Amino acid sequence: MDDWAEDRDPDFEDGQNALVHGGKLPSDVKTIRLFASLEPERVTRWKVVFKRFYGMPFERIDPVIHTLPDVLVDVMNKRASVHWLKKWRRPSNRDRQSTIISIANDFIRCFCEKGATGVTDQSMAAKFEILKESWLIGMTQMR
């Protein structure tokens, strides 16, 4: 989350040449919890970027993180990743980036209005398929 807060260059790979993704919702929630009393100023910065990348405030996610539907966690992770990774800002991926963010925002809005059952209904399943397809195509784009 320091990378997000300090706007470091996200276009890097780990030691095994596997692309490092941006969104890791459960891990980021755990990290914020662990650092809250140790480094409050740092955590304040993290919470700002948490909302920008995941689309919901930390305070809304924290109490329900263990009960969120897997599909919502996946969608929010993808939302964070397309905000963060440079490959999504390339002209060839811009439309896909917009599609993913828009669908993710629909999921978040649905969750806020209807709770967990809202994100698992039939209409949301169809949107999730579009999101997955856009994600797969975008992730396979060459550098």
Res 8: pLDDT: 47
Rounded to an integer, the average pLDDT of 44-69 is 96
Is pLDDT of 3 > 80? Answer: no
pLDDT at position 71:
96
Residue 43's contacts (CB-CB under 8 Å, 6 or more residues apart) are 32, 35, 36
Top-confidence residue, 134 or 9: 134
Average pLDDT estimate for 114-133:
93
For the four alpha carbons of 26, 28, 32 and 34, in that order, the dihedral sign comes to positive
CA distances from 60 to 11, 29, 42, 54, 117 (A): 30, 11, 19, 11, 17
pLDDT in tens, 13-36: 443 333 445 689 999 999 999 999
Section 61-89 average pLDDT = 94
